[in-house]
Amino acid sequence: MSEEEVKPNAKGSPTQDAQLAAESIAKGEEEAPTVDMDADYENAQKLSVSDVDRTGTGAKAVEAATANKQKVSEQKETATQAQPTSNPNDYLDMAKDVGHSQD
């Protein structure tokens, strides 16, 4: 089912141009267009990937476009171990060590 005939519906046409075209086809003044679904699908697949993306140039362009413009510092891991105590001040001291204190 690669080719299908377009069946016009003059009453359901969204624009005046479409309505006039549908009426002309219904009267036999114009030939109804046919749609080749397989060919359309194949052409769409060709257009879905650009020529640049089929080569190594595309990958290089993406790398250049997404590369950091500023120097990014490396993160340092902080090892914090909370000892099981019931003293709330211990928690405050730990928060200060991590750097989330507003003191």
pLDDT of residue 101 exceeding 60, the answer is no
- The tokens of 94 are what? 């730990």
Q: Would you put residue 7 in left (φ > 0), alpha (ψ -120 to 50) or beta?
A: beta
pLDDT of residue 3 exceeding 70, the answer is no
Band (pLDDT 50/70/90 cuts) for residue 41 is very high
- Model pTM score: 0.32
Taking the domains of the chain in order of start, what are their residue ranges?
Answer: 3-65
Q: Would you put residue 39 in left (φ > 0), alpha (ψ -120 to 50) or beta?
A: alpha
Matching residue, tokens 């003059």: 10
5-15 confidence digits (pLDDT tens): 666 666 666 78
